A and B are shown apart, each in its own frame.
Chain A
Amino acid sequence: MAAIFSFFGALLPLTSPGHYIQWHWIQISVANLVVIILMITTFIAALVVPFPGRRRRRGGDE
């Protein structure tokens, strides 16, 4: 178990200070930026990825 923890600890060092990106007056942590990028990706995917059973439903209900 300790080996698993140290493996993931090496991949995601949670005890070290966070990394930040700065551009003029804009400052954001890498973690927050990753979450925002993931949300935008999910949003776009939700619009373009076909929903299962969509064709079957069309013209069916309401």
Chain B
Amino acid sequence: MSTTEIDRQWTTKFRRRLTAALPSDKLLPDTQPSYVASWIYVFGVATLSSMMVVIGTGCILAIMGPLWWHESSVGHFVNSLHLWSVEVFFFAMVVHLWGKFFMAAWRGKRQLVWMTGVVTFLASVATAFTGYVSQTNFDSQWISTQAKDGINATGGGAFFNVLNTGQMFMWHIVLMPIAAVVLTGLHILLVRYRGVVPPFEDTNTGKVGA
């Protein structure tokens, strides 16, 4: 194959575009800007870390199944880890959201970074909700029967049936995790591409490009 032909391939063009936009040192930098040395900047990565624990414990629960997490003490422990890592995940995500909101993190062409974060937050709520109705206990029965009226009122009850355990379980362990992971990946890639949003004073002095 000639060089011209290789240059015309869509894979070549795509690779060049990708490596130009996100070179390896930008994708995984050695240092961070000085303004990142603040506690308010750690909540994004805290959210990501707790998400990893959520996914890890979720995988163990999926392998072992409901009987295990209801009847074995180790199962109870992993089930609790799954729940409490979700609590930490939302806690960190909300503080991250407040931090980014008050520093107007959509500045400097970062609208897509902000919007992927918003959509990831909504997808996470849906993931958690389908999880609460998939516990296969009295709590999940109570939540799903209470939610049924609400979702019927939106008109989506016939399609998204919260009383259908199998459907909710599949949404929780297949569809929603895929959505959450893809959106989070996109969000992080966009953060790397645009850079971490600088504080207002740095933007005004022009010290750090926004």
Interface residues of A (CB under 8 A from B): 35, 38-39, 42-43, 45-47, 49, 51, 53-54, 57-62
Contact = CB atoms under 8 A, between A and B. Distances in A.
20 contacts: A35-B87, A38-B91, A39-B91, A39-B98, A42-B91, A42-B95, A46-B39, A46-B40, A46-B42, A46-B95, A47-B38, A47-B40, A49-B39, A54-B37, A54-B38, A57-B37, A61-B33, A62-B31, A62-B33, A62-B208
Contact of B34 (A42, A43, A47, A60): A60
Nearest to A61: B31
Given A39-B91, A39-B94, A62-B208, A45 B39 contact: yes
Interface string B34-62: 10011110110000000000000000000
A62 to B, nearest CB: 4
Main secondary structure of the interface of A (DSSP, over half): helix
Chain B's interface size range is 10 to 19
Contacts of A60: 34
A51 B99 contact: no
B49 to A, nearest CB: 15
Contacts of B95: 39, 42-43, 46
A47 B65 CA distance: 42
A25 B17 CA distance: 55
A51 B38 contact: yes
Given A38-B91, A43-B95, A46-B95, A57 B39 contact: no
